[in-house]
């Protein structure tokens, strides 16, 4: 298997979630498929809460890819379906953390995501 730059970022981010933030590996899914507007899409990393509901969506890009508004639009489209509480976008060098504000249909940028409780 060839380790693409994006896959390198994904593997390191999963490690960070497990080792640093203490999320159980059993709650982490890679490349979870979903259908949006009759098109099949995949989340890079999807973390579920203890009740089996989506809690965190992580979108990984290669380190050479600049994170833009398009990246946030992509993850926001996924979240219209998944309704996760947190969105993370990373290229391995920069990480953006957002908490959803469903009432106002927006997201709030955070310094980091919380540790697993």
The per-residue pLDDT for 1 is 62
Q: Residue 41: which pLDDT band, with cuts at 50, 70 and 90?
A: confident
The per-residue pLDDT for 5 is 94
Contacts of 85 (CB under 8 A, 6+ apart): 55, 56, 99, 100
Domain of 53 in residue numbering reads as 5-110
Kindly state whether residue 116 falls inside one of the protein's structural domains.
Answer: no
The CATH number that applies at residue 9 is 3.90.1570.30
Kindly state whether residue 105 falls inside one of the protein's structural domains.
Answer: yes
Kindly state whether residue 115 falls inside one of the protein's structural domains.
Answer: no
Per cent of the chain over pLDDT 70 is 99
Per cent of the chain over pLDDT 90 is 72
Kindly state whether residue 106 falls inside one of the protein's structural domains.
Answer: yes
Q: Which pTM was predicted?
A: 0.92
The per-residue pLDDT for 54 is 96
Q: How many domains does the chain have?
A: 1
Give the DSSP H or E segment for 75: helix 69-82
Chain segment 65-113, per-residue pLDDT in tens = 999 988 888 898 889 889 999 999 999 999 999 999 989 988 899 999 9
**47-60 mean pLDDT:** 95
């Amino acid at each position: 298997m060839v380790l693409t730059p994006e896959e390198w970022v994904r593997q390191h981010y999963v490690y960070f979630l497990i080792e640093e933030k203490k999320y159980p590996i059993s709650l982490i899914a890679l490349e979870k498929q979903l259908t949006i507007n009759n098109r099949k899409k995949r989340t890079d990393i999807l973390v579920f809460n203890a009740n089996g509901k989506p809690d965190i969506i992580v979108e990984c890009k290669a380190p050479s890819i600049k994170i833009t508004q398009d990246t946030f639009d992509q993850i926001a489209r996924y979240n219209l379906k998944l309704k996760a509480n947190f969105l993370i976008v990373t290229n391995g060098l920069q990480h953006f953390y957002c908490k959803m504000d469903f009432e106002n249909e927006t997201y709030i940028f955070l310094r980091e995501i919380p540790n697993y409780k």
